[in-house]
Amino acid sequence: MLTKLSQLHDMARGHSRRRLVLAAAHDAHALGAVLNAYENSLVEPILVGDESKINEIAGNHHYDLTPFMVIHEPDNARAAARAVKMVKEKDADVLMKGNLGTAILLKAVLNKEYGLRTGEQISHLAIFELPTYHKLIGLTDAAMNIAPDLMEKVSITRNAVTYFQKLGIEKPRVAMLSAAETVNPAMKSSIEASNIAKMGDRGQIKNCIIDGPLAFDNAVSKTSAALKGIDSPVAGDADILIPDGIDAANGLYKAFIYFAKAKCAAVILGAAAPIVLTSRADTDETKLNSIALAAAVG
């Protein structure tokens, strides 16, 4: 059972270093995060971007980039394409966003000729270490998919389940969230949660235990579930939370961090390799944890 994000660091160090390619590497925040990950023995970085700007940033921050491969490509779209092609050709294992827009990076990821399509929905997975919960808990999707329909939710669920399996959770417990634990025809989230739970029962979504609809309290508290008479293998022991859409997911994400003082790691899934998209607002710890999450899997 995973209870600490530090275990992800141990997993990343437990095998040969994953090669991380940073697209548009001329970005002080991303470059600093990658250097920190290298110094913590998590990844072997490859830098693709404007070499003069990369060297300028390194000089201003006293970064030693001599151990790293630097590929000069000043155009952001071409830098994204070059980085994606390296992952496609198995010259890198993890893709990371630097000084370019997310849309530019994802356009390269989804390119039909050289991209990293798998047929699954591109989705965001955050994993939290909460002082009030007995293990790490995943949340998807708080950043990519605004209002996923039923089959998009199924794909998002598959992405998270597959990644948890790679982290050693053989059969993760998935809570499909709604505002209540009963099916209400007037509440779309409850109907779709029930449908997806039944799909899990019938083997249409494999290698996990799914239940829903579950209200948030029932998903994470056995006491709450017992008081409401809910008999569920997921209630109070969820590994993965699937809210209805980005509003609920993003609200939970930020509540965990700002109110519950959670530690966090996040990765983009659905492509042929994990993608790290850190924000300037992320702490150095979150950036390092996110790279560790991407590098932990084989």
Q: State percent of the chain over pLDDT 90.
A: 98
Q: pLDDT value at position 279?
A: 83
CB 77 within 8 A of CB 104: yes
pLDDT digits (tens, 9 = 90+) for 127-148: 999 999 999 999 999 999 999 9
Residue 97 φ then ψ, to 5°: -85, 130
Chain mean pLDDT for the chain: 96
Query: What is the per-residue pLDDT for 280?
Result: 79
- pLDDT tens digits, 75-129: 999 999 999 999 999 999 999 999 999 999 999 999 999 999 999 999 999 999 9
DSSP structural state of residue 43? E
Closest CA to 173 of 129, 207, 127: 207
Q: What is the DSSP letter of 121?
A: P
Contact 214, 178 (CB under 8 A): yes
User: In sequence order, what are the residues at sequence separation of 6 or more whose Cβ sits closer than 8 angstroms to the Cβ of residue 203?
Assistant: none
Q: Which residues fall within 8 angstroms of residue 279, CB to CB, at 6 or more apart? A: none
pLDDT higher than threshold 80 for residue 298: no
Any residues with CB less than 8 A from the CB of 215 and at least 6 apart, and which? 177, 178, 179, 180, 181
pLDDT at 197: 97
Report pLDDT digits (tens) over 153-174: 999 999 999 999 999 999 999 9
pLDDT tens, position by position, 164-209: 999 999 999 999 999 989 999 999 999 999 999 999 999 999 999 9
Q: Strands across the sheet with 240-242, in order?
A: 69-72, 43-49, 18-23, 94-97, 275-276, 263-269, 123-129, 137-139, 240-242, 173-177, 209-214
CB 144 within 8 A of CB 271: no
- Mean pLDDT, residues 65-78 taken together: 96
Q: Domain spans of the chain?
A: 6-117+271-295, 125-263
Which CATH superfamily groups domain 125-263?
A: Isopropylmalate Dehydrogenase (3.40.718.10)
More confident residue, 271 or 298: 271
Span 6-117+271-295 CATH architecture = 3-Layer(aba) Sandwich (3.40)
Element (H, E) at 253: helix 246-258
Q: Please check whether the two domains, 6-117+271-295 and 125-263, share a CATH topology.
A: no
